[in-house]
Chain A
Amino acid sequence: MSDNSLNNLPGGFKGMSHDMGSDQTAFKGVQWGKVMMWIFLLSDTFIFSCFLISYMKGRTSTVVDWPNTSEVFSLHVGGVPVPLLLIAIMTFVLITSSGTMALAVKYGYEKNRKMCGWLILATAIGGLTFVGMQIFEWSKLIHEGVRPWENPFGAKQFGSFFFMITGFHGTHVSIGVIFLFIYARKVFRGDFDNGKRGFFTTMKSDYVAIEILGLYWHFVDLVWVFIFAFFYLW
């Protein structure tokens, strides 16, 4: 991003037509890895959209009442059922980890190795907490008799959508946690300061990698915003 020649280019829509029509790099000042991550995230958006749209279709078209998610996902605290408590905590944990990731990217660009590393580690631990709570939620529902083909609360389709959507999201979080740990190690080792070459590439490591990792992690949080709204709250 730190390319001073960008200052001489036009901005806004005029800039867009200039960039696209310049017969050279279209995405000026953006490292190729970042563009690739964005394209991947765009395709991932379509996958999650398909899941949520099929959920909308399934839920609208069933003639049986949909389970009341507020009750299904309630937790008993001191004998009193608190609606959606676990899901609310999961949401706050994920947002917290998203915030630490944003700060990690900032400190990475400032070449503050220690802060960047610790913040990535904090993000990873937040993600791990989230996955742990999801495992608890799944085992609780499975114990209560929720299956992809039936459940005791209402419309049969509920189980399959629940396991499919939260499962796919949980997989994304788990993969993200693995990469966060790998990159925390790389940061602490100083790979991004001395430009050590990566595993599968001859290119030198750069802190832009932290921003790319951050894009993925924020996307996982972004998808959860939609799942929380449509699956749990609606």
Chain B
Amino acid sequence: MDEIQNKEQSTSTHKIGIYLWIWGLLFVLSFFSYMVDWFAFQGFLRWTLILIFMFLKAGLIMAFFMHLYWERYALVNVLLWPMTAIAGFIILMAAEAKYTVFTRLLYFFIGG
């Protein structure tokens, strides 16, 4: 891996084929995620498919269009680790939302 990476970095420009491939894949993945809505999948299947296509698209854009795949780990890790804080925030707020809706149901409909 190191050899390939170093070679890429020393030339700093990549073959046009890789960009066209990623571009094509992004189109296909977008089409698939639109099809999720078109065929009106519901529930767990819908959410799983949406998330899979979303993360694949995001990963391809970051890795190849934004060149992260070819960057040194010093930069990649500085950029990607802070994202775990977002994951933590999502978990906290999901729990908070559950609590809010619980109290709303309790006081709006059952009465305090």
The judgment on whether A and B are partners is yes
Residues of A within 8 A of B (CB): 1-4, 6-7, 10-13, 15-16, 19-20, 26-30, 35, 38, 42, 45-46, 49-50, 53-54, 56-57, 60-63, 70, 83-84, 88, 91-92, 95, 98-99, 101-103, 106, 109-110, 211, 214-215, 218-219, 221-222, 225-226, 228-229, 232-234
Using A6-B6, A11-B1, A63-B105 as known contacts, say yes or no to A106 and B33 having CB atoms under 8 A apart. Answer: no
B30, chain A: closest CB distance, angstroms: 5
Chain B residues with Cβ below 8 Å from A232 are 37
* Cβ–Cβ contact B5 & A11, under 8 A: yes
A50, chain B: closest CB distance, angstroms: 8
Chain B residues with Cβ below 8 Å from A2 are 9-12
Residues of B within 8 A of A (CB): 1-2, 5-6, 9-14, 16, 19, 22-23, 26-27, 30, 33-34, 36-38, 40, 46-47, 50-51, 53-54, 57-58, 61-62, 64-67, 70-75, 77-79, 82-83, 86, 89-90, 93-94, 96-98, 100-101, 104-105, 108-109
Chain A residues with Cβ below 8 Å from B11 are 2
Chain A residues with Cβ below 8 Å from B14 are 106
* Cβ–Cβ contact A225 & B54, under 8 A: yes
* Cβ–Cβ contact B77 & A16, under 8 A: yes
* Cβ–Cβ contact A60 & B101, under 8 A: yes
Q: Which of these, B12, B23, B73, B78, contacts A1 with CB under 8 Å?
A: B12
The CA-CA distance from A70 to B105 in the complex, in Å, is 27
Since A10-B2, A11-B72, A109-B13 are in contact, a sample of 8 more A-B pairs with Cβ atoms closer than 8 Å, ordered by chain A residue number, is: A57-B94, A60-B97, A60-B101, A61-B97, A95-B23, A106-B19, A222-B62, A229-B50
Q: Which of these, A29, A63, A226, contacts B9 with CB under 8 Å?
A: A29
The CA-CA distance from A30 to B16 in the complex, in Å, is 22
Chain B residues with Cβ below 8 Å from A88 are 30, 34
